[in-house]
Amino acid sequence: MFRYYLGLGLHSLRRNPALTVLMVVLIGAGVASSMITFAALRALTADPLPQKSAQLFGPQIDNWGPANRSEDGEPPRALSYNDALALLNAHKALRQTAIYQMTLSLVPSDAKRAPFTVKGYAATEAMFAMFDVTFIDGGGWGAEDDAKGGSSVVLSRRLSQKLFGGVNSLGRSVSLGGHDYRVAGVMGDWNPQPRFYAEGSINIVSDVGDPPDFFVPFVTAVNFQLNDSWGESCVSDYKGVGWNDLLRSECVWISFWVQLPTLADVQQYKFFLDGYAAEQGRIGRFQWAPNNRLRSLLQWLDYVHAVPEETRISFLLAIGLQLVCLVNTVGLLLAKFMRRRGEIGVRRALGASRRAIYVQFLIEAGMVGVAGGLLGLLLTALGVFGMGSFFDARVARLVHIDVSLLGLTLLTSIVATVIAALYPTWRAAQVQPAWQLKSN
C-alpha cells in the first residue's frame, strides 16, 4: 500500500511541477535559514567547559561603593589587586586563580627573525587543573614559581611550533616583553570558547577562535609590572601614577575564578565573601553594606552578554521567516489537495476509508518534506561555509556542520511539512463522495 501511495503522490506532484517546486523551495529556504542561524547561535552559546562549568564560579566584590556603582547596582566585573590577593591567600575554595590578559612583544632568539606580538595571560598554577588544560609536553610551573614568582612560561602548541619547530621546547628560553622565561609546558589543543576566563577578552571578537599564546605566573607578571592589555578600570577621581600606586588602588583589572564542587561549598564561599567585605568595612575601606556576587560560569556568560546581539536577532528573524514559509505551505497544500476533490470522491466511493485518504495525503506531504529537507541541507551547508563573508570571519570559524545539525535539518523540514499538511489532509478526508460524484 505504501508503495502505491508513493506512486500516487509522485504522480500528483509531477502533474503540477511549478506548485511542487514552489513548496519545496519554501520549505528548503525556511529550514535552511533557521538552521544556519541556529548553528551560529549554538556555536556561540555552547558551554566552554561542559564537564567543569557547574563547579566554576566568578566572585565579584563591590569595592567602589554606591557612588561609583553602575545603574543596575552591580559590583565591578573584575577585582582590585588587593582583593584578588586576599582571596588567593584565603584558600577558601577547592582551587582558586587570578587571571589577567596581556599583550607582549616576543623577540625570537634567532636574531634574523623579526619580533612579533603575542597574547596570553598571567594566572596561578591552579588554573591548569581548574580549566582542564591539556599538555603535550611538561605541565604547569609548580607551586614554587607561583609563590616566588619564577620566570616560567607555558606555551601554546602553535607558538612552541613557531619558535622551536618540531623539537621539544621544554626548558628552552623565551624572551617575552624584555624578560627571559623558561618553558615549563606546552599546551595541547585546549581552547574553550568563548574565552570566559578573563573579563576583557570575552566580548572581543578579534580573540574569538584562537587559543591563547602563553601563560605566565601571576606573581611574576605583577613583579615585572606587566599591564593588563585592556587597561584598568578606576573610579573617576583616581590620580595614582605608576605600578605601585595601581597595586594599592581600588582600580579593578583582575579576573578571579574559584572551583566549588558542591552546593554547600558555594554557600560557604558566599558566606566567606560577605564576611570579607564586612571585615573591609570594619577596617574602614568599604563604607557600605557588602554587595558581592558569585556567578557560575554560565550565569557569568549570560551576564556579560557573551553572545553577540546580532546572532540572537538573526535567529529570531529566521524563525519568523520559517513561520511564514510554513503558513505559505499550508495554503498551497490546501489548494493542491482541494483541487483533487473529484479524485478523492472517486477513491472514497470505491471503498477507500478516511484513514486511507489520510495516509495517502500525508505521504504525499512527507515527500515534499523530504525534498524540501534535501534542498535545506544543501542550502545549510552553503550557508555555513559562506558565513565568513557575512558574519565576522572569526565568529564563523566556530560554526561547523555535524551529523546532528544535518539530522535536525532533515527532521525539521519533514515534521514542519507534515504539520503543515495536517489541516489540508483533514479537509481532504472530509470530502463527501456523493457530492463530488454528483457534480460534473
Residues that bind another protein (CB under 8 A): 19, 22, 25-26, 29-30, 33, 65, 67-68, 105, 107, 115-117, 178, 205, 231, 236-237, 239, 308-310, 312-314, 317-318, 320-321, 323-325, 327-328, 330-332, 334-336, 339, 390-392, 423, 427, 440
Min dist CB 332 to another protein, Å, is: 5
Min dist CB 72 to another protein, Å, is: 12
User: 397 or 427: whose CB is closer to another protein?
Assistant: 427
Peptide bond into 424 cis (omega under 30): no
State how far the Cα of 329 lies from the Cα of 22, in Å rounded to an integer: 9
Min dist CB 68 to another protein, Å, is: 7
Min dist CB 302 to another protein, Å, is: 12
User: 96 or 229: whose CB is closer to another protein?
Assistant: 229
SS3 content of the chain, % helix, strand, coil (to 5): 55, 15, 30
DSSP alpha helix (H) spans, 294-388: 297-303, 309-338, 341-349, 354-385
The one-letter code for the residue type at 312 is R
H-helix or E-strand spanning residue 253: strand 252-259
User: 6 or 107: whose CB is closer to another protein?
Assistant: 107
State how far the Cα of 27 lies from the Cα of 33, in Å rounded to an integer: 10
Min dist CB 37 to another protein, Å, is: 9
Q: Cell numbers of 33, please?
A: 535559514
Min dist CB 289 to another protein, Å, is: 16
Cβ density class 46-78: b for 16+ within 10 Å, e for less: eebbeebbebbbbbbbbbbbeeeeeeeeebbbb
Q: Cell numbers of 79, please?
A: 577585582
Min dist CB 276 to another protein, Å, is: 23
User: 19 or 352: whose CB is closer to another protein?
Assistant: 19
User: 79 or 420: whose CB is closer to another protein?
Assistant: 420
The one-letter code for the residue type at 169 is S
Residue 293 has φ and ψ, to the nearest 5°, of: -135, 150
User: 32 or 88: whose CB is closer to another protein?
Assistant: 32
User: Does residue 83 contact residue 277 with C-beta atoms inside 8 Å?
Assistant: no
User: 239 or 355: whose CB is closer to another protein?
Assistant: 239
User: 3 or 14: whose CB is closer to another protein?
Assistant: 14
H-helix or E-strand spanning residue 412: helix 403-429
State how far the Cα of 307 lies from the Cα of 42, in Å rounded to an integer: 10
State CA 204 to chain mean position distance: 13
Min dist CB 60 to another protein, Å, is: 20
